């Protein structure tokens, strides 16, 4: 099979994958908020940006 072909996942596997990624994204957002400066809403580190950015190979 050529690597250009998409692999089709069953609906339950796709749902499980979505739930896992959403949980990791939420957890990393909470971590980023813990690293925020005092008395501001600014965080020097925002881990979810690394999760949200798709990697193109």
Contact in structure between 40 and 14 (CB atoms under 8 Å):
no
The per-residue DSSP string of 4-45 comes to TSPPPPPHHHHHHHHHHHHHHHHHHHHHHHHTSPTTSS--S-
pLDDT at 19: 93
pLDDT at 2: 53
Q: What is the pLDDT of residues 9-45, one digit of tens each?
A: 788 888 998 999 899 989 988 888 888 778 776 777 7
pLDDT at 57: 53
pTM over 0.85: no
Work out the pLDDT band at 56, boundaries 50, 70, 90: low
């Amino acid at each position: 099979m050529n690597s250009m072909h998409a692999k089709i996942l069953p609906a339950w596997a796709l749902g499980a994958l979505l739930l896992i990624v959403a949980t990791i994204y939420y957890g990393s957002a909470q971590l980023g908020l813990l690293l925020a400066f005092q008395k501001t809403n600014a965080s020097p580190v925002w881990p979810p940006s690394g999760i949200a950015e798709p990697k193109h190979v």
